Amino acid sequence: MAEFINLYLIPGIAIGCIYALGAVGISLVFAILRFAHFAHGDVMTLGAYIAYSLVAAFGWSVYAALPFALLGGAIACVAIDRTVYRPFRRAPGIIVVIASFGVMLVLRSAIQLGWGVDVLAYETGIRRPLPLFGDIRMAQKHIIIIAVSIAIAAALHWFLSSSRMGKAMRAMSDDADLARVSGIDTERVVRWTWLIGGGLAAAAGIFAGINTKLHPGIGWDLLLPLFAAAILGGIGRPYGAIVGGLSIGIAQEVATYPWIGGDPLVPPAYKNAVAFFVMVAMLVWRPTGLFKGRVL
Amino acid sequence: MDITLYGLMMYGLALLTMMAIYGVLCLALNLQWGFAGLFNAGIAGFFAVGAYATAILTAPESPNHLGGYGWPPLLALPVAMALAGIIAWPVGRICLGLKGDYLAMATIGIAEIIRLVFKNESWLANGTMGISTVPRPFESLGQPWGNLAFLALVLAIVIALYFSAERAWVSPWGRAMRAIRDNETAAAAIGKDVVRFRLEAFVLGAMVMGLGGGLSAMYFKFIGATATEPLLTTFLVWVMLIIGGSGNNKGALLGAALVWLIWSGTELFTNRLPAEWITRSSYIRTLLIGVLLIVVLQRFAKGVLPERPPKRID
Amino acid sequence: MVGGYGGMDILNGVDITVDTQEIVVIIGANGAGKSTAMKALFGLVALRGGNVRFDGADVTGLAPNHLVARGMGYVPQERNVFRNLTVRENLEMGAFLKPAATARVMAQVFDLFPVLAEKAKQPAGELSGGQRQMVAVGRALMAEPRLLMLDEPTAGLSPLVMEQIFERIVAVNRAGIGILLVEQNARQALAIAHRGYVLATGRNRFAGTAAALLGNPDIGQSFLGG
């Protein structure tokens, strides 16, 4: 039991937090701008590398670099939206998706050019997991990832439920045309959507880098689980995206537990296939997600 | 690099062969996207099925992977196409009800699952190492004649595909397909079996993608996880079709040629960069291609050769 | 005004004027261009000719948030509430441009539609058709418009609820807000209106005071259902 919790459940929750942070941005962008943002994974990578540069340049801890990288991801997204996506506001959604392929290529190659392709780490050395109670142990990185994610989720909840801009974001994801005729400055809402989506993506990228190692493909590898999480939670449902991210993260890890006999139920190499499978299955059988999001 | 006449000729042959292979993939994508409006972002999956099938059927026996069947390459290609089609059929049955972005997400997910299988089932295709003993037709002729003959083969395939696609575009089948693409409800209302037409376009396109994969495996004499990266097999093909002009078979071929010229031509330039930059040259290419895609989308959303509007009946 | 969607003109020459303090109703058969005319006034349909003037200024082609800032309010016919937002949040969205006035104006809206105060914390999607219409009108009022444009506010409502809505519209007008109304229920709408326009095939067909339109036998037969 302790083994299950220590080696499967807790890492699953940590990965689920990473998915949740990324998926919230995808879900909001999908609902407000009506397109699947394929470059979101690479925004995560960008955030992770910004943090790496701060760590390398100033010798900071990665956690100190986190707020700055968050801001960097947020600003990068607003800049990308201005230069690339804005001219397509009235174009059919698929054109923007293809434009996001372009952004994906540009971001990834820029990262490879700027930071190289070697696998990097925020810190070296191995830390022993901390004993919590009984046989339950938790790695320090997992504690921090989960705690910070909860804090971010709480801040997001406050923003969406209590701030004027947060409510306007929900309104616009509910019905963008109505938001426009109600006098809501939709371009400002769009800007805030990118700020939040980009910031959360940067946080997710950094956590992914802390959880394993940093490499230029780290965001792309997470993109499909993020889509899976956003769809599972229902498009335009930020809380759904959080639940979706956690479910997929936990499902992926727990699926590799030797439930039957001595071998992993799903070979660890196929962990990601669990997420892809959940995504395809949800798309096909219940595209509104668990929480009745929209189908755009 | 070798700047003799012979060297340039070999470079030109390689350039044209790759353009032609990408031409096959672009025509395939045009069949799905240009004809039927199906947003398939999983080209890599069908490409992989065709490529691995060709490799396994033709490669000599090896303890590292399935193989040793000794099929003649030209017989393996139709089988590779058929296998890609057989995989595409259930995928299409399940996924084609999805619209736009949702279809893209579903197909990319399926493509990644297919890639994961080839990557991890080492008994099948030697895992990440891949199969590097794929025979190439005419290679016994030696250089350059073997290369030339292979180019001729690929070109012949492209030409055949192009003319079939052109015929299909103006045929009742092609017209029905475009009608469904532009207004599904209206097409269904005049009695077109929307689901069947879509599935046909999807499966046919996937088969041609499999063919492209098979040709690519033969040309490189190799297939492995790196050769099915979505960057090279999915996104580059999309860039080509969009830049060339979707809905236009000539545009598809032009896009393949143009983008590959840029992709590969920049290599000539970047090879002259200082040594530390050479390793990064491929990233500069990707960057350029990405910027080009965005600029083309913003300036000429319909590509260099846009779809021709149907002739007016006066 | 001349205009329409995607190159097809639906409006071929419509001319509508509303004075403050007035209730003006646009009636006409289905497809006459009533809703399109209203959307054109609010910049939602591209005009090929003509212009929209508000308060003496040319506002043709301005984005909706600018029109709202200038004092125009618009309530679309369908999907006119944010279903996943509470009633209170719906109203707050109406005051997006003037957040400081939210509390004061919301109190006025609650005075006008007391039922909204009761349901303030409920998602708007859960309300009945009539209540949703009140949320939609209330949201538009939150921006303190001087002209309120309502596209078929009584569509699909029972006669009793329709009565209530019309009565509230009159109350809004008494507070000094000009009302432009597109209506299917022409006879009832004319009963509360000062003036009316009859549109046919995208043109002005008749215009006059509500009483004159009600009394005109031609209009009675063709547009008021006998």
pLDDT tens digit string along B25-71? 999 999 999 999 999 999 999 999 999 999 999 998 888 888 888 88
- Type of residue found at A228: A
Using a CB-CB cut-off of 8 Å, the residues of chain B touching A224 are 105, 108-109, 112
Q: Do A267 and B120 touch (CB under 8 A)?
A: yes
The closest CB to that of B39, out of A94, A272, A296, belongs to: A94
Residue C225: the pLDDT is: 59
Q: Are A8 and A1 in contact (CB under 8 A)?
A: no
The closest CB to that of B286, out of A38, A109, A231, belongs to: A109
Q: Please report, for the domain that includes residue C191, its CATH number.
A: 3.40.50.300
Q: How many domains does the structure of chain B reveal? A: 1
Residue B143: the pLDDT is: 80
In sequence order, which ranges of chain B are alpha helices (DSSP H)?
Answer: 5-29, 43-58, 73-95, 100-120, 122-125, 145-170, 172-182, 184-189, 194-220, 230, 236-244, 249-270, 275-278, 281-299
Q: Please say whether the dihedral angle defined by the alpha carbons of residues A255, A260, A266 and A268, taken in this order, is positive or negative.
A: positive
Q: Is C96 on the interface with A (CB under 8 A)?
A: yes
* CB neighbourhood size of A116 (10 A): 14
Domain membership of residue C188 (yes or no) is yes
Q: Do B100 and A94 touch (CB under 8 A)?
A: yes
Q: Round to whole Å and give the CA distance between C110 and C162.
A: 19
Q: What are phi and psi of B76, to 5 degrees?
A: -70, -35
| pLDDT of B314 higher than 60 | no
B135 three-class SS:
coil
Q: Do A224 and B112 touch (CB under 8 A)?
A: yes
Give me the half-sphere count of Cα atoms (radius 13 Å) on the Cβ side of residue A95. Answer: 22
Give the number of residues written for chain B.
314
Using a CB-CB cut-off of 8 Å, the residues of chain B touching A100 are none
Domain membership of residue C128 (yes or no) is no
Q: Could you list the residue range(s) of the whole structural domain that residue B200 is in?
A: 21-228
Q: Round to whole Å and give the CA distance between A18 and A45.
A: 12
Q: Round to whole Å and give the CA distance between B239 and B234.
A: 9
Q: Which two tokens stand for residue C74?
A: 């618009």
Please provide the average confidence, as pLDDT, over all residues in chain B. 90
The closest CB to that of A283, out of B102, B297, B298, belongs to: B102
Interface-testing mutation among A181, A187, A189, A191, with chain C (most C C-beta atoms within 10 A): A181
Q: Is C105 on the interface with A (CB under 8 A)?
A: no
Query: CA-nearest residue of chain C to A176?
Result: C82
C51 three-class SS:
coil
Q: Which own/partner contact pairs does B292-295 have at CB distance under 8 Å and 24+ positions apart?
A: B292/B239, B292/B243, B292/B259, B292/B262, B293/A98, B293/A99, B293/A101, B293/A102, B293/A105, B293/B239, B293/B242, B293/B243, B294/A84, B294/A99, B294/A102, B294/A103, B294/A106
Query: CA-nearest residue of chain A to B293?
Result: A102
Q: How confident is the model at residue C7 (pLDDT cuts 50, 70, 90)?
A: very low
Q: CA nearest B286: which of A119, A102, A41, A50?
A: A102
Q: Do C82 and A183 touch (CB under 8 A)?
A: no
Residue A295: the pLDDT is: 61
Residue A200: the pLDDT is: 97
Per residue in A93-109, pLDDT (tens digit) is 788 999 999 999 999 99
Per residue in A136-190, pLDDT (tens digit) is 888 899 999 999 999 999 999 999 999 999 999 999 988 999 999 999 999 999 9
Q: Please say whether the dihedral angle defined by the alpha carbons of residues A221, A225, A228 and A230, taken in this order, is positive or negative.
A: negative
Give me the half-sphere count of Cα atoms (radius 13 Å) on the Cβ side of residue B6. Answer: 4
Using a CB-CB cut-off of 8 Å, the residues of chain A touching C74 are 181
State the residue for tokens 């595209």.
A287
CA dihedral C77, C79, C80, C85 (to 10 degrees): 170
- Helix C129-141 vs helix C102-112: crossing angle, to nearest 10: 140
In chain A, % of residues over pLDDT 70? 98
| pLDDT of C151 higher than 80 | yes
Using a CB-CB cut-off of 8 Å, the residues of chain C touching A164 are 92, 96, 99
Q: Could you list the residue range(s) of the whole structural domain that residue C201 is in?
A: 2-79+144-223
Domain membership of residue B15 (yes or no) is no
Using a CB-CB cut-off of 8 Å, the residues of chain B touching A106 are 286-287, 290-291, 294
Q: Do A102 and B106 touch (CB under 8 A)?
A: no
Q: How confident is the model at residue C155 (pLDDT cuts 50, 70, 90)?
A: confident
Q: Do A106 and B290 touch (CB under 8 A)?
A: yes
- What is chain A written as a DSSP string? -HHHIIIIIHHHHHHHHHHHHHHHHHHHHHHHH-S--TTHHHHHHHHHHHHHHHHHHH---HHHHHHHHHHHHHHHHHHHIIIIIGGGTTS-HHHHHHHHHHHHHHHHHHHHHHH-SS-B-SS-S-PPPEEEETTEEE-HHHHHHHHHHHHHHHHHHHHHHHSHHHHHHHHHHH-HHHHHHTT--HHHHHHHHHHHHHHHHHHHHHHHHHHS-B-TTHHHHHHHHHHHHHHHH-BT-HHHHHHHHHHHHHHHHHTTS--SSSS-SS-GGGHHHHHHHHHHHHHHH-TTTTTT-B--
Cis bond before residue B144 (omega within 30° of 0): yes
Residue A223: the pLDDT is: 93
Domain membership of residue B248 (yes or no) is no
Q: Do B116 and A279 touch (CB under 8 A)?
A: no
Give the mean pLDDT of A258-277: 85
CB pairs under 8 A between A and C: 66
Per residue in C180-212, pLDDT (tens digit) is 999 888 888 999 999 988 888 878 888 888 888
Q: Is C106 on the interface with A (CB under 8 A)?
A: no
C31 three-class SS:
coil
- Type of residue found at A64: A
Q: CA nearest A38: which of A100, A120, A96?
A: A100
Q: Round to whole Å and give the CA distance between C191 and C189.
A: 5
Residue C224: the pLDDT is: 66
Q: Which chains touch B (3 or more CB pairs under 8 A)?
A: A
Residue B2: the pLDDT is: 54
- Type of residue found at B174: G
Q: Do B294 and A84 touch (CB under 8 A)?
A: yes
Query: CA-nearest residue of chain A to C136?
Result: A182
Q: Round to whole Å and give the CA distance between C42 and C148.
A: 11
Domain membership of residue C125 (yes or no) is no
Q: Is C89 on the interface with A (CB under 8 A)?
A: yes
Per residue in B250-269, pLDDT (tens digit) is 999 999 999 999 888 777 77
Residue A198: the pLDDT is: 97
Q: Please say whether the dihedral angle defined by the alpha carbons of residues B264, B266, B272 and B276, taken in this order, is positive or negative.
A: negative
- Helix A238-254 vs helix A218-233: crossing angle, to nearest 10: 120
Contact present, C and B (at least 3 Cβ pairs less than 8 Å): no
The closest CB to that of A287, out of B102, B287, B293, belongs to: B102
Q: Do A109 and B294 touch (CB under 8 A)?
A: no
Domain membership of residue B277 (yes or no) is no
Domain membership of residue C85 (yes or no) is no
Domain membership of residue C96 (yes or no) is no
Query: CA-nearest residue of chain A to C70?
Result: A183
C147 three-class SS:
strand
Structural domains for chain A: 2-112+138-285 (1.10.3470.10)
Name the least confident of A83-97, A270-284, C10-24, C109-123.
Answer: C10-24
Interface-testing mutation among A172, A182, A239, with chain C (most C C-beta atoms within 10 A): A182
| pLDDT of A258 higher than 80 | yes
In chain C, % of residues over pLDDT 70? 92
More confident residue, B82 or A4: B82
| pLDDT of B111 higher than 60 | yes
Residue C6: the pLDDT is: 45
Q: How many domains does the structure of chain C reveal? A: 1
Task: For residue C134, give how far its alpha carbon lies from the nearest alpha carbon of chain A (Å).
Answer: 14
C47 three-class SS:
strand
The closest CB to that of A105, out of B97, B109, B289, belongs to: B289
Residue B67: the pLDDT is: 82
Q: Do B105 and A227 touch (CB under 8 A)?
A: yes
| pLDDT of B128 higher than 90 | no
Q: Round to whole Å and give the CA distance between B255 and C39.
A: 42
Q: Please say whether the dihedral angle defined by the alpha carbons of residues A96, A97, A102 and A105, taken in this order, is positive or negative.
A: positive
Task: For residue B44, give how far its alpha carbon lies from the nearest alpha carbon of chain A (Å).
Answer: 15
Residue C46: DSSP 8-state: -
Q: Round to whole Å and give the CA distance between A6 and A20.
A: 21
Domain membership of residue B249 (yes or no) is no
Using a CB-CB cut-off of 8 Å, the residues of chain C touching A186 are 65
Domain membership of residue B283 (yes or no) is no
* CB neighbourhood size of C142 (10 A): 27
Q: CA nearest B206: which of B61, B89, B68?
A: B89
Q: How confident is the model at residue A117 (pLDDT cuts 50, 70, 90)?
A: confident
Using a CB-CB cut-off of 8 Å, the residues of chain C touching A292 are none
Q: Which chains touch C (3 or more CB pairs under 8 A)?
A: A
Domain membership of residue B251 (yes or no) is no
Q: Do C82 and A181 touch (CB under 8 A)?
A: no
For residue A80, give every residue at least 6 positions away whose Cβ sits within 8 Å of its Cβ, in sequence order, or none: A39, A103, A194
